[in-house]
Each structure stands twice: as structure tokens, then as C-alpha cells.
Structure 1
């Protein structure tokens, strides 16, 4: 049993409850209070034939799966997890079917069943458990604010009157429900110009800008679910595939895998779905 240090800091009471339930149900269980990422990795490297139990949030779960994947130990290891953290920090665990209550999660570790789950692996060897979302490009910079209405020192009286009129009239129009043209101008939301291929078939091209793109592992289906939403009111483009390739020109694109930080920029990236590539202990009815 490895306790992530963030879990102890954010919710020590849930950690204590889970530890007590696990010790009562499995007296021979060994406890490791990890001091950091490297300490967690050392504990996992020495799990031998024993089932590793992780107490922590989504990021701790991601690091654990990545470590086992890098060590080529993922497919033969059944991982048990007690999620500890606030709502957003354990959203991935919830989506995978893990209970968020400390007692229920600890009992799942003791009495649950092992279920094979699908995994997305990119062309650099990184893994995605649930899904990824391509981030929207930064919008164009807003124009510099107008200096209209400022009165330089020493301005002649006639010019001063004209300046005040240009300042007051637009404000009066705004109070009457009308906005001056320069006030209504806003940068248009940026869109993606990407080439998206699903199993070699073109789903979206750079000639059709996308407002959103997501790729998710459809657990149990053996295929990834791809959703590309064109800019505007067009219907989403959907596909199910084993292999998804996204290509962008210029500076590339950024994407957010699972609950992790922003990745990229990448000019091209391919994700391949590997069915049943890892195993998670879930409730018997999960």
C-alpha cells in the first residue's frame, strides 16, 4: 500500500480511514508513506508478485500507470486504487468506476474484481487512461485601447469641445442601448486547423476549422471514440477507430491528456488504442 504525499496533505482523515479498513481486512499488507514521485516509483518497483494499492488522486494514478508501463509491468499487474482528493482531482477515478468514499474504495480493494481496461498510447510511448482534449488556440490579441477622449494639456478651447463631444456622445448612445462600433468589436474565438485521421480515413481537414477535438478510450469496446466539432453550428463529426492521427501546420497544437498538464506543442501525434492493456480492481458490480 503506497500513500501519495498529496493525499496525506489534502485529506489525511480519508487516508487514515482507508488504511484502517485495509489493515483490518488484510493484516499482512505493508504500508509505504511515499515522500515523493521517486519514492513511489521505488515502492512500485519492489512490489514483486504482490498487488500494489495506491492511495491518491488522479495524477498519482497516472504516474503509477506510466511507471508500470515504462517498466513493461503494466499488463501483468492488477492495480488497486483508493481515490483521495477533491472532486476535480479524482474525476478520472470516478469515470473509471472507482468509488470515491474512503470506506467503499478500501472495501473494493479487498473484495473487488479485476477488470481489463483499454489504454491509449501515443507515438512517443506516453499513455492516456480516459481521454484527451485538444486545447483551443489562443485568440488573436485584442486591439490596443483607444486613446480617444483624453485631453492633452494645453489643448485649444475649440478642440477641447470637440474632444469632449466625441467622449460623451458614445457613452450616451451606450446608455440608450446602442454601443459604439469600436466597443462592440471583440476578437473572434480561435479555431483549430487540423488534419484528423481515424484508422487512415480522413475525418476532418484543415479546410474545415474545428472548435473542439476529443479522443477517448471507449472502455470495453476495443476502439477509441473521436469527436470533432466544427466551428459554427455544423454537426459534430464522429468516428471509432484503433488508431487516431492529428496533424497541424505552423506551431502545432497542444492537448490535455486525462487530468494531466498541457502537452505539446506537437506538429503531429498518433494515438493507438490497446485493448485490455491494464487491469484495475473495481467493485464486483462495476
Structure 2
């Protein structure tokens, strides 16, 4: 397996976390078979791109899944360096459908040997009008039956129960004696008289330390007991000779008066559900989509004919293979097939899946085929 190649082995961080043993095997095989090997362990997309940019004359070998390969091709495409660079991939991870469809052998040993002894194959590339790339398949809609993010169904920011509000939180520390659930404070005072003594009113026997303003009396600056925020009768000092369990009798009365005199405070959600946040975008839900699909300027389907799916992928003999499945009415409708170099999809906001990524929503998008735009090392 000896070769004169100088390799730059870029190991995706997700691959290291997913299968460290496969990463070690791939690194050992590549290091043993290449004349010179430089191993990079980027911690994020920025370091991943920086390593590729500083590769020099070394041939890059990506150890990772489909997303790592797509990240590498996208970076080299933006730098307009795909024409003079052949990539190699050692598939490690869980999302490997694209790698296998492109012909990359499964297994760390077989893929590493293919990177050393394989041949470069030039493959077609789909490039959209926002400079995004598609290596394998493109599908519209992206995720049928799954609502977009940021909705209650998808577990976004608008989902979840209301946070603890008045009457829902735990009792304050030190208020474990005589505390009404979420409403009243403590009933055991420490003062020496019914209204407290001293210039600041401290030592009042009726002060409560539970839910603040909900119930219980507080002492004002003049030493007088204030009861405007709640009933103070349930927090009064026990009469002489009544025993140490006076609060067991006073607490239910105070709670009943508090609940009957103050209206209940409804729980509020942390964020209101706005209609725009629970709407399922057209093309992203389970229903049919109304789209206009043009291939090389010819309209295959217009907005008046709903479709179930639209699929686009680079063809075998050049061009892009387009498949449109109209909505069936009665008998199953036959799919519409076409091949061209320029595909435009427009209509209401739609999402699409390009390889392993979901993009959108957009109202129009055009993909152009670039033949033999990038190279991948595959078994000879």
C-alpha cells in the first residue's frame, strides 16, 4: 500500500465521539500507507474549514459522516478549489447513506485503503442560486408530517408548561411552620404585643414570611400593623393559655378568608403562542404542495396541480434527473420524469432536504448542474 501521497487527515469531532476505535484504525492505516501524514483534530466547523484551507499540497482525507463530507465540499466550492482537489472519505458515524450511495466502501479499513490506492472519480454537482451544493439527492417537501421548529409539537421555545407563578412555588426558607400552600406566611410571630414595638415596627407578632404580599400582615414604619395586602387575623399571637398549637386552628380560617377575598391569579405562559409560530409552512407538512417546476425553461407542473413530492439528483450521464409525483385522484398518478441542467421550483414557502440538511423556507430556488465539478477517491 506504499504511496508517495502526502495526506491531510481531518477527523471530524462527531466521528471521534461516535466511534473512537474506528477513527484510530483509520488513522493507523493511513499513517502506515502514506509517505507523510498530518492529522488534524478540529473542534468545530471553523477549525475544520481552516485545516482544509491550509492543506498546501497535501491531499485531504475526511474521517466522518455525510455531513462532514458535505462541509468539506461546500468549503472548497466557496473557495473555488474543487477543480484541483480530490477528496477522500473514511465513513465513520451514523449518517452514512450518502457516502455509500457515492460508492465509498463501508468499514474503516476498506475505506482507508481506498483513500490510499483508489482512483479519482469526477462527479456532478448541483449548485443553487445561493451558492449551496447538493452531492446526492434533493427532495421537496423536506419532512412530511413533521412541523417546523419553534412550535409546541416540535418541542420548540413555545412548548412547555407554564413556569411556577404566584401560588405555585415552594415556601420560602424558614417558613415551615404554619405555612398555607403558596398563600400565607408563618403564623408564629416573635413580638411581644399585638402590634409590635420599636420605631421600625420590628418584632410584630403578625408578620408573615411566606408568599410576600399574598397574606399576612407586615409592620409599617410607624410600628402599626398593615393588613391591606391580606388578612392578618390568622397570624395573630395566640391568646394566653391557648397552648402551643393555636396555629392549627387559626391557619384554616386565614386560608379560607384569603381565598375568598382575593381573586385567583391565573398562570401565565412564558411566551404566547402567536399564529405565525404554530403555522406549518407549505411544503413542510403532510398535505400536498402547490409548486411550479421548470426544467430548462419548460414548465412540467404548475401551481394548479398539487404534487406530493419533487425529487432532483445528479444523473448518471450528465444533467439532473427530476421526478415529480402528482397527487393521486382515484387511480394512482404516474410520476413525471425529466432530465435537464437547470431546475427551478417556485410557489408558496417550502422547505427542502439537500443531502442530510434541511433548508428553507423559500419561495423560489434554482439548481444548476455542474458536470464533473468535484473529485472523490473511490476503489479502482
Q: Does the CA contact (< 8 Å) of 1:4 and 1:40 recur in 2?
A: yes
CA contact (8 A) 1:4 1:54 kept: yes
2:90 maps to 1:82: yes
- Structure whose CA Rg is larger: 2
Distance 1:3 1:98 in 2: 17
Residue 208 to residue 2, structure 1, CA distance change in 2 (3 Å): same
Which residue of 26, 29, 38 corresponds with 2:37?
29
Structure 1 residue runs of 4 or more that deviate by more than 3 Å after TM superposition:
136-140
Give the SS at the match of 1:93: helix
TM-score when normalising by structure 1 = 0.78
For normalisation by structure 2, the TM-score amounts to 0.59
| Structure 1: runs of 5+ lacking an equivalent | 141-187
SS of the counterpart of 2:49? helix
Partner in structure 2 of residue 177 of structure 1: none
The structure richer in helix per residue is: 1
Q: In the alignment, does 2:50 pair up with 1:42?
A: yes
- 1:162-181 maps to which residues of 2 (within 5 A)? none
CA distance in 2, matches of 1:229, 1:207: 14
User: Equivalent residue of 1:130, what SS?
Assistant: coil
1:226 match: 322
Question: Partner residue of 1:269?
Answer: 365
Match of 1:259 in 2: 356
For the pair 1:94 / 2:193, whether they are aligned, the reply is no
Using the TM superposition, give the Cα deviation of residue 34 of structure 1 relative to its aligned residue in structure 2, in angstroms.
Answer: 1.3
Flag structure 2 segments of 5+ consecutive residues without an equivalent. 1-8, 148-284
1:242 aligns to what?
341
Matched length: 231
Q: Which has the higher contact order (CA 8 A, sep 6+)?
A: 1
Task: Tell me the alpha carbon deviations over residues 89-126 of structure 1, each in whole angstroms, 9 at most, x when there is no partner.
Answer: 01000000001111000000100000100000001111
Distance 2:287 2:48 in 1: 40
Map of 2:296 onto structure 1: 199
Cα displacement (A) at 1:76? 1.0
